[in-house]
Each structure stands twice: as structure tokens, then as C-alpha cells.
Chains A and B, each alone.
Chain A
């Protein structure tokens, strides 16, 4: 990777972190581009350690990290570019939402007028205008989560690191927040999210990093990760008018491991070890009189990949 590329990515090179004898993360090599990247893994897998490492709050025991070309050893430069929202409900006592953002903008070195303007903008972004001058202590869980998000993005960072940012949000605000992440990512921000809610990770992420016991188990776009898992046959759901006929035809092929008629009787779930060959076969079958409505991978999502790679320690589905 050349210097210019590294300057636009968050890069971990052989990074390990041990808290005494406790393993945080081990031998992590990552290169995270702009867009939404989700860190997924069970409790204690190293998600928060990875986030603390990229925000410079903990130093690696071994290895090297650069965030958009800046080393965490340069906090003055790093923290102008990085916004961090921790998983803790942590607020200094007695502040209103506006004061909370304003004070941290001042700590970040923004002059009074800029801090006032940026605090207002961030409050608007997270839809808290009406509650801005109320004390945070009186906020609901969802409002606290949103003001935390606002403090992470109020200083206009280039990388947002968000630990469990969707916890406690009601469905409407959750959808708005995901839309905000999408907008920010489309504008070229690095949005790093850790989450236990796999279907949301699936919906929101451009790429995922799967962690287990401090190790990176897989990384990349979820489709690519799924393709690399050769030991698990691909599952394909075919919606058609004659699933029974289709089942009898596909069973004759050696690339098909299993075929099951969908419980609603309107489709067939096929497991195959060679998806390419199977799709070619399906083209031939379609010409033979079976009306195929749709063909879609059934285990090409974070949940399936998570189950294949990490197994039983499931986070929330």
C-alpha cells in the first residue's frame, strides 16, 4: 500500500494488545477504507479494544496503527480527525445537551463562535433541537445515545468510531440514525460501528470485520467473505411454481448437496458446493418449463457468516 492510500485508510499492521495477561486483540492486520465498517463479534472478542486502539486511548503492545495516515502518537492531529462515541452512558454531571457539545468542542480547540455553530449543527443532525437546553440527566436512553453520537461528530471528524451506537434507540430513530450513517459514509467518512444486532449490521455495512477471542476471523464485504467459506455449502433459495419438479431435477446433479422445499411450498432451498455450476444448471432447467420467479443466496448475510465462522456464541439476531 502506498503512502497516499494509507493516508485514506485506517491501517492495523500486526497489532496486538495485552492487558497484562489478558488478551485484548492479537495479530490484527486490517486496512479499513471509507464507508461503513462494522465490527462484529461476541462479548470479549476485542471490538472495544480495537476501537480504543484506533482512537489512541490504548497503545498497542506490538505493531503499528495509522488512522488516515496519522499515528495515535500524535493526539493533537489524530483527535482533530477522529470522533469517538463510547458504549458507556457517560456524561459529566449537570450539563445540558448543548453545553455538553459546546464544552467538548472548546476542549477540541474550537473558538467560541465555531463551537457554538458546530454544536448547533450536530444537535440538528441528531434531531435533538427541542431538548438541546435541557439537562442530559433528564434525557431518555435514546436521547442520551443521540447526544453521545452528536459529540462524536460535532467537531467534523473524518473518521467516526461508534461503539454500539444503535443501542437503546426506538425503531424510528434507529432508522434515522442509520440513514445518517449512510449519508456520512457516502460523503467519504470512515464510519466504524460495533454492533450486536446482526441484521442491522447486514443492512448498514459496506464491509465487516468479524472478531472472535481477540482474533480477526474474517474481513471484507460480506459477499466476498461468504464465498471464501468453502467448507459450508452455499444455500440458494429459488422461488418457482413447481418446487417439487425442480427438486427432482436438481437432485440428479452431483454439485447439489441438499434440496428442501420451502415451508410455504413456493420455493426450493438448495445447498450446493459449486454455486457457479448450479446457476448454469438452473438456466437449463428454466428453459424446460419451470417458471422461476427469483434466485437469491440464502446464507449470504452477516448472520450466516457469523454462525459459520464463530459458531454458537451468538449475538442478538
Chain B
């Protein structure tokens, strides 16, 4: 019969709040992502266009410059400017996602590291949250954060009347960015969870966009319909942004259909993550 002294004391100190623990995963994932010099260089490049826009807005309100060129304004700083800004930053964001996203979940799965996370007081949802937060943060920094900053710059230069007319754009910039960020991030994470090789997952992300676009076009052409655009992610996002920025649209599907398709794609990505992010794997046969 073994005799146990029971002198062992389990940890009885303070605990950090549960909501904050996912940030530990984000911190290490971000550190890992930003360890690539190429990525840091590309990330810095993503701020060139916002900086150019800020300078352009300043120039557009500089009386001396306007007088020099003998014009009242160089361009109209309205919805179209912010709409184009978001399209360009969205494209840059997609490439950034293709760099960062595939490396988030696939190494953990390839190394069977998930039980290590999940045998802590830490749920699957918190794990996904921790990983996706890296993309949310990086993409936010190049989309809605500079977008809203430009909006504020324009407000401060143009005055209260411009703000009153264009106040609705605050939510458009944020919502348009949020749609891009969420769709890109969920898609990248789902592919990262299902494809264990990082490069293959990156290629698959590009493939989903380009193959979807090509296949959608083919359906539209062969079946003489516009419903093929429902599998074209770029067109779906463009259609939603057209609506948000009150722009004329060339995409042949309704905004409501585009919203529904994007929600369905996001839900499917979450389902893929739910299926794959687990602490064990059953190998049959």
C-alpha cells in the first residue's frame, strides 16, 4: 500500500481574466508572422497609398497650391475617393492575408500541437479567435484605420458642412473594410486548417479567388445568367461595397444576394474550422 504525504500544493494564485487569454496566442502568432523581413517590407508598402491619399487631400485644400495650378480643387474628395481607397487597400490586404493566413493554423495541425492548447482552460473558439485576431489587427491597420483617418483629415480640412453631407461614409468605410477582413480571414484560416502545407494553403487561397472568378464567368457566359457571380468572391465583395458607398454597380447580382452569399461562405469557413480544429484525430482503416 502506497503512503502519500499530501504535501503538494496546487497553484492558488491569481488568474488573468478569461477573455484576455486568446491574446497570448495572437501575440506569438503575430511575432512569428512578423519575423519575415519580406512581410514587414510588404506591410510597410501597404501604407504608401494611404499616405499618398493624405498628401493629396492636403494638397486639395492648400490655397497656394490650388492658386499655383489655377484651379478650385484637384479632385472631388467624395464617396468615390474612399470607395477606390478601400478597393486598393482591400487588394493589398488580400495579398497580405495570403502571406500571413496559411501559417496560422497549419503548423499547429502539422505538429499535432492542438492538444497542447486545448488541454488548458482554453476553448476551440478562443484558439480560432487568437489566430484570427492577428489577421483582423493587421488588415484593420491597412483598411478601415487609415480609411477613417483620411475621413477625419478631410473633415478637418473641408469643415462641418462636408461632414454633415458625408457623415454616412463613416459606417461605410468601417463596414466595407469589415466585410473584406472577415471574409479574407475566415477563408485563410479555414484553408490553413485543411491544408497542412503552408505554401499549398497560400496557393489555395489565391486559387479560391481566381478559380471562383473564372468559374463564375464561365457559368455566366455558358448559361447566360448573372448567378455565376455568386461564386466570385471579388465580385461579391465589390457588389457589397458598391451598395455601401452608393456607387453605380456593374455586377449583375443584387446587393442582398451578395450579402447572403458572403454570409454563407463565412459560415462554411467556420464549419470547416469547427471540423478541423480539435484535439484529436480519428484515423480509420
CB distance from B30 to the nearest CB of A (A): 12
On chain B, the residues within 8 Å of A106 by CB distance are 16, 21, 24
**Quick check: B7 and A90 within 8 Å, CB to CB?**
no
Q: Which of A197-229 contact B (CB under 8 A)?
A: 206, 221
**Quick check: B6 and A188 within 8 Å, CB to CB?**
yes
CA distance A118 to B10 in the complex (A): 12
Q: Is A251 an interface residue (CB 8 A)?
A: no
Q: Is B167 an interface residue (CB 8 A)?
A: no
| SS class, residues of chain B in contact with chain A | loop
Q: Is B111 an interface residue (CB 8 A)?
A: yes
Q: Is B56 an interface residue (CB 8 A)?
A: no
**Quick check: B4 and A34 within 8 Å, CB to CB?**
yes
**Quick check: B10 and A157 within 8 Å, CB to CB?**
yes
**Quick check: B24 and A188 within 8 Å, CB to CB?**
no
Q: Which of B17-54 contact A (CB under 8 A)?
A: 18, 21, 24-25, 28, 32, 35
**Quick check: A155 and B119 within 8 Å, CB to CB?**
no
Q: Mark A143-170, 1 if CB is under 8 A from B, else 0.
A: 0000000010001111000000000000
Q: Is B76 an interface residue (CB 8 A)?
A: no
B-contacting 9-mer, from A77-85, A242-250, A276-284, A287-295: A77-85
Asked whether A84 and B11 contact (CB < 8 A) given A58-B280, A185-B2, the answer is no
CA distance A88 to B119 in the complex (A): 14
**Quick check: A91 and B18 within 8 Å, CB to CB?**
no
Number of interface residues of B (CB under 8 A): 41
Q: Is B8 an interface residue (CB 8 A)?
A: yes
**Quick check: A114 and B13 within 8 Å, CB to CB?**
yes
CA distance A120 to B139 in the complex (A): 36
Q: Which of B162-194 contact A (CB under 8 A)?
A: none
CB distance from A61 to the nearest CB of B (A): 13
Q: Is A71 an interface residue (CB 8 A)?
A: no
Residue of A nearest to B119 (CB): A84
Q: Is A317 an interface residue (CB 8 A)?
A: no
**Quick check: B113 and A90 within 8 Å, CB to CB?**
yes
Q: Which of B74-117 contact A (CB under 8 A)?
A: 107-108, 111-117
Q: Which of A58-93 contact B (CB under 8 A)?
A: 58, 75-84, 86, 88-93
Residue of B nearest to A58 (CB): B280
CA distance A76 to B208 in the complex (A): 38
CA distance A57 to B10 in the complex (A): 22
Asked whether A156 and B120 contact (CB < 8 A) given A94-B35, A109-B21, A187-B4, the answer is no
Q: Is A128 an interface residue (CB 8 A)?
A: no
**Quick check: B28 and A206 within 8 Å, CB to CB?**
no
CA distance A156 to B18 in the complex (A): 19
CA distance A91 to B35 in the complex (A): 18
Residue of B nearest to A187 (CB): B8
Residue of B nearest to A56 (CB): B119
**Quick check: A81 and B25 within 8 Å, CB to CB?**
no
**Quick check: A109 and B112 within 8 Å, CB to CB?**
no
CA distance A56 to B278 in the complex (A): 12
Binding site for A on B (CB under 8 A): 1-11, 13-16, 18, 21, 24-25, 28, 32, 35, 107-108, 111-123, 279-280, 282, 284
24 contacts between A and B (CB under 8 A): A35-B4, A52-B280, A57-B280, A75-B121, A75-B122, A75-B123, A76-B121, A79-B122, A86-B115, A89-B111, A91-B116, A92-B111, A93-B107, A95-B28, A108-B122, A109-B15, A109-B16, A109-B121, A111-B16, A158-B10, A186-B2, A187-B4, A187-B6, A221-B1
Binding site for B on A (CB under 8 A): 19-20, 22, 34-36, 52, 55-58, 75-84, 86, 88-95, 99, 103-104, 106-111, 114, 118, 151, 155-158, 184-189, 206, 221
Given A79-B121, A90-B115, A185-B2, 10 extra CB contacts under 8 A: A22-B282, A80-B121, A90-B111, A90-B114, A92-B28, A93-B111, A95-B28, A109-B21, A109-B121, A189-B8
